[in-house]
């Protein structure tokens, strides 16, 4: 029976099937084909089969173009070192808190108006009228605190575990920038509800920036966007909080996680590798991204121990 792809793709564009593949008769058609067609499944049956095939077909279609499945399985089944414990969940917990902020933030943005005359009432509208409004608003508000706590805990973990040392220095640097950006989010988000607390706290915050050496006054002028904290300040904070910083955070989290996968996470510093006397059979899936670029060849003598039986280690899946 024809594949769904063949039904959709016009004939000239179709892949030329290799001999032996489904649809290419290896031998001439049997004689009786010419007289009585072979039994065909009912239309309903064929539709069901096709429907079953469709998801796999489209996944395959995408994978043929992205060639991502090797990388993805490599990432998913890469080995994390012995001793990895609950402290290692703090980074992904931070990521998760960020996702909560992003999702709740999108919903808040649907109802929020960044103008000095309407900001306050639009938040009141969210709180009082919108279905689950106060709940989502509350999640965003408290999620900010949770994310700040988690990012500090995660930084503390990597600090005390010495995880910022070779070869993960760059990931630490990216992390510190993420920390600054997260605090920027906390600061700029605080003005948006435009109640007394946020208004006056932002004034003090902007003035604090203004006392800084050299760039201080420029920074506070930029933040205030005018002689007084007002409409322009609010829209500037809004743009920073909604576009600029989240974009930068997403990009940097991407880079951060790329390095996490590429370099692998540390083992806790107390964990010792007792050297194996006989090489252990490693699973086939150990290949992939686990193969890091540090060993010129994946197999061979490592620390005086012959390691073998793990075809593919060191040769990252393309």
Partner 1 sequence: MKPSEKQAYLEEYELLKKKGKPFFPYAVMKDSVMALIVVGVIIAMSILLGAEQGPKADPTTTTYVPRPEWYFFFLFEVLRVIKPPELVPLATIGIPTICMVLLLLLPFYDRGPERRPERRPLATTAGILTILAMGYLTYAGAVAGSPTEIDMKVAPQYKAGSEVVAGSGCLACHKLGENGNNGPGPELTHIGARIPRAAILRSIEIGPSIMPSFRELPKEKLNELADFLSSLH
Three-state secondary structure call for residue 34: helix
- Residue of 16, 277, 294, 297 interacting with partner 1 (CB under 8 A): 294
- What is d(CA 96, CA 49) in angstroms, rounded to the nearest whole number? 38
- Residue of 139, 266, 298, 316 interacting with ligand HEM (CB under 6 A): 266
CB of 254 to partner 1, least distance (A): 17
Element (H, E) at 145: helix 133-160
C-beta closer to ligand HEM: residue 146 or 201 = 146
Q: What residues from 78 to 107 belong to the interface with partner 1 (CB under 8 A)? A: 78-84, 86, 88-90, 92-93, 96-97, 100
Mark the segment that binds ligand HEM (CB under 6 A) among 3-11, 36-44, 111-119, 258-266: 258-266
92 binds ligand HEM (CB under 6 A): yes
CB of 292 to ligand HEM, least distance (A): 13
95 binds ligand HEM (CB under 6 A): yes
**Which residues is 236 bridged to in the sheet?**
none
Q: Which of 166, 186, 167, 189 is nearest to 178 (CA)?
A: 186
Size of the site for ligand HEM (CB under 6 A): 27
Joined together, the tokens standing for residue 317 give 């899946």
Query: With b meaning 16 or more CB within 10 Å and e meaning fewer, what string describes 185-194?
Result: bebbbbbbbb
Three-state secondary structure call for residue 305: strand
Question: Cα dihedral sign for 169, 293, 83, 99?
Answer: positive
What is the residue whose two structure tokens read 């095939």?
53
In a 10 Å sphere around its CB, with 0-12 CB exposed, 13-18 middle and 19+ buried, how is residue 126 labelled? Answer: buried
- What is d(CA 244, CA 187) in angstroms, rounded to the nearest whole number? 14
- Residue of 3, 172, 221, 248 interacting with partner 1 (CB under 8 A): 172
Torsions phi, psi of 75, nearest 5?
A: -70, -45
176 binds ligand HEM (CB under 6 A): yes
CB of 218 to partner 1, least distance (A): 12
C-beta closer to ligand HEM: residue 163 or 234 = 163
Q: How many CA atoms lie within 13 A of 275 on its CB side?
A: 8
CB of 211 to ligand HEM, least distance (A): 26
289 binds ligand HEM (CB under 6 A): no
What is the residue whose two structure tokens read 């010419």?
34
Q: How many CA atoms lie within 13 A of 58 on its CB side?
A: 6
C-beta closer to partner 1: residue 61 or 71 = 71
- What is d(CA 193, CA 269) in angstroms, rounded to the nearest whole number? 45
Q: What residues from 193 to 212 belong to the interface with partner 1 (CB under 8 A)? A: 193-201, 203-205, 207-212
139 binds partner 1 (CB under 8 A): yes
145 binds partner 1 (CB under 8 A): yes
Q: What residues from 225 to 254 belong to the interface with ligand HEM (CB under 6 A)? A: 253
- What is d(CA 134, CA 128) in angstroms, rounded to the nearest whole number? 7
- Residue of 185, 223, 249, 290 interacting with partner 1 (CB under 8 A): 290
151 binds ligand HEM (CB under 6 A): yes
CB of 316 to ligand HEM, least distance (A): 18
Binding footprint of ligand HEM on the chain (CB under 6 A)? 88, 90-92, 94-95, 98, 151, 154-155, 158, 161, 163-164, 168, 171-172, 175-176, 178-179, 182, 253, 256, 260, 265-266
């Amino acid at each position: 029976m024809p594949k769904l792809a063949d039904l959709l793709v016009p004939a000239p564009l179709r892949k030329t099937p290799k001999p032996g593949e489904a649809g290419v008769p290896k031998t001439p058609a049997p004689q009786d084909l010419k007289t009585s067609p072979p039994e065909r499944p009912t239309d309903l049956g064929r539709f069901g089969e096709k429907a079953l095939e469709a998801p796999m077909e489209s996944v395959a279609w995408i994978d043929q173009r992205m060639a991502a499945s090797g990388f993805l399985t490599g990432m998913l089944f890469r080995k994390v070192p012995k001793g990895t414990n609950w402290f290692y969940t703090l980074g992904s917990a931070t990521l998760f808190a960020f996702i909560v902020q992003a999702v709740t933030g999108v919903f808040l943005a649907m109802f929020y108006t960044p103008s000095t005359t309407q900001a306050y009432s639009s938040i009141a509208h969210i709180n009082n009228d919108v279905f689950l409004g106060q709940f989502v608003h509350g999640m965003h508000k408290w999620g900010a605190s949770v994310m700040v706590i988690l990012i500090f805990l995660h930084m503390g973990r990597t600090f005390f575990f010495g995880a910022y040392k070779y070869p993960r220095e760059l990931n630490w640097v990216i992390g510190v920038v993420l920390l600054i950006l997260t605090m920027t989010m906390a600061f700029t988000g605080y003005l948006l509800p435009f109640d007394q607390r946020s208004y006056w706290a932002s004034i003090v915050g902007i003035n604090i920036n203004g006392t800084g050496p050299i760039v201080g006054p420029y920074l506070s002028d930029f933040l205030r966007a005018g002689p007084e904290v007002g409409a322009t300040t609010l829209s500037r904070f809004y743009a920073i909080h909604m576009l600029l910083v989240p974009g930068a955070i997403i990009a940097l989290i991407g880079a951060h996680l790329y390095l996490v996968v590429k370099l692998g996470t540390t083992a806790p510093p107390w964990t010792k590798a007792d050297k194996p006397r006989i090489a252990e059979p490693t699973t086939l899936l150990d290949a992939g991204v686990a193969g890091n670029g540090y060993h010129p060849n994946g197999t061979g003598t490592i620390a005086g121990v012959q390691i073998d039986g793990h075809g593919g280690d060191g040769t990252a899946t393309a």
